[in-house]
Amino acid sequence: MAWRDTLYSRVVTWLKIMLPLMALGLLATLFLFSNRIDPTTVEPATDLDLRQRASDQQITAPVFAGSSDSGDLISLNADAARPDPDNPGRIVVDAPRARIEMRGGVRIETRADSGVFTLSESRVVLSGSAYLNSSAGYEVWTDSLDMALRAIRIESKTLVRAKGPPGRLTAGEMLVTGRPDGTGTQLLFTQGVKLIYDPST
């Protein structure tokens, strides 16, 4: 719960700052331009307009930090973050980058073109040129990574290309979890695994 509680408090703090400022800005705009607008000529906002306005309410260079239930340290940053206009419980992030310091000393870093963070589930889905690097010696390239942060679990159900101590491999799916005793991580490749053995990698 530590990750969820820490992130929730940070989001609430940002909203306490942003929403009053936005309200003041809108109020000032109404006073400045109210005498220039003929209400009979104003067209009602469409659903597309509302979604566009919601997407414009973004935070630049956000940083989220917390820990998993087992004490792994997690940080997530991005170029920008904004509420999902179709689901207020989700945050859309641009160019997300995550770093996980496992209790056993293993470090995992990920990045992608975009992502969606679901606060209630403590879950981030990265998509578009997703990349994972582990200090255990593995690099992974795939289209999507589904990251559960309350109990570390990183999963890809799209084609995976990877290289590591055994060599280079491809697989249909990948799963990364923490070991139950907290000593490290487990990487599991499944669904049509093809390995080119090359210990020099």
Model pTM score = 0.71
Q: What is the pLDDT of residues 128-175, one digit of tens each?
A: 999 999 999 999 999 999 999 888 999 999 999 999 998 999 999 999
Asked if residue 36 has pLDDT above 50, the reply is: no
Cα–Cα distance list, 113 to 20, 37, 98, 108, 192 (Å): 31, 41, 12, 18, 26
Q: Report the number of distinct structural domains present in the chain.
A: 1
**Token pair 């060599």: residue:** 167
> Domain of 42?
2-197
Single-letter amino acid code for the residue at 188: L
- Answer whether 154's CB lies under 8 Å from 140's CB: no
**Rounded CA separation 154/177 (Å):** 7
**Rounded CA separation 132/55 (Å):** 28
Q: What is the pLDDT of residues 64-92, one digit of tens each?
A: 888 888 889 999 999 999 998 888 889 99
CATH code, domain carrying 30? 2.60.450.10
**Rounded CA separation 47/197 (Å):** 54
